[in-house]
Amino acid sequence: MEKRVVVTGLGVISPVGTGLSKFWQGLIEGRSGIGPVTAFEAREYDTRIAGEVKDFNPEDFFEKKEVKRTDRFVQFAVAGTRMALEDAKLDLKKEGDLSRVGVIFGTGIGGMATFENQTRVLFEKGPNRVSPFFVPMMIANMAAGQISISTGARGLNYTIVNACASGTNAAGTAFRHLQRGDADVIITGGTEASITPLTFAGFTAMKAMSTRNDEPARASRPFDRDRDGFVLSEGAGVLILETEEHARKRGAKIYAEFKGYGSTADAYHITAPAPEGVGAARAMQLALKDAGLFPGDISYINAHGTSTELNDRYETKAIKQVFGEYAYALPVSSTKSMTGHLLGAAGAVELIACALTIRNGIIPPTVNFENPDPECDLDYVPNISRKAKVNAALSNSLGFGGHNATVIIQRYRG
């Protein structure tokens, strides 16, 4: 018999705020975390704005020596984990069997800053000057590895790299393992720290990012007719998932029950979504079936909503395919309008937004929705957050390579 799975702890590092209260307050106030790039000199780039994390100090979580030996994406992951464990009031030192505690984490790119820095060292100073920490700092699995090292979690441990669907697929996979009884607790989520010269050069060469440099706060505008690309961001979202049995035994606070997961491939194109959003629609249908829910049971959708031409149009079409006429009455918002796009961390951060929406009864808005696109004609909760009782929330993530992932969480009923 499949076990029930619940969400008991949340940790977030984002451009709109580090920590749950700052993050949530930023979302419901419709506050943008987008501003001019400060991580490097971006004067020669077509895009010169990003969603940088401004209020994170790695020395709050690491000794100075360790800060130099860990990439920023790992720092985010470990710090977010500590926040989530504290929020869950889960002391792993008191867990009898740490082989029953797992880590499944996602990242789209991994240690890009380390890669770029050490490449520069190689070509400017020669191979003998490359750091011995280069490889263990850069490789994508090191977020999961370092979380395990820092917490003592000795259960299943791996990393999912599925571009912008990484965090959502990580959470969905953790859900599956807990359902099967492979673990009692899994630390899951996503992390990304790729605001770097090479990443920016690549995305600007693709013409994928917004060039609204003079109005950073208005640059990410999902579903708006005048959208001109996504805004690259950084951060991490961490969730503590537990079997209901384990959570109730220790008297845990429960944010929501994890109900469904669907994952599909477009098998179509390296960057563009499949026409009409057919892959995204199938992911939503699979998640609903997995959850044992009907379309009318969903109260809110946190859309992938990247502020790109094709994504917003086809995701809208996908929602209509799945929800029919009910799609027009269903609140849909994109928190990327405020956070920007956190790539492999996006889905985890947005799942946290869904959990807080269920808990607090407020739906975050889609800001900068000023001129509706005729092909994007749903209720995107424009510009102002909305009080509403949300029983079940669905979150979409769609990644380069045609990866589609959908998760559903629901108000917990014991």
Check 164, 177, 354, 376 and give the catalytic one. 164
Give me the catalytic one of 177, 246, 341, 403: 341
Pairing type for strands 157-160 and 235-243 reads unpaired
Determine the longest span between alpha carbons in the chain, in angstroms: 64
385 within 8 A of 362, measured Cβ to Cβ = yes
**Inter-residue contact 12 to 336 (CB < 8 Å):** no
- The first and second tokens of residue 51, run together, are 């969603």
Residues contacting residue 59 through CB under 8 Å, at least 6 positions apart: 67
Report the amino acid identity of residue 102. G
304 is catalytic: yes
246 is catalytic: no
Amino acid letter, 292: G
- Cα–Cα distance, 119 to 115 (Å, whole number): 6
Given the residues 246, 304, 376, 403, the one annotated as active site? 304
Nearest to 303 by CA among 360, 260, 363: 363
Residues carrying an active site annotation: 164, 304, 341
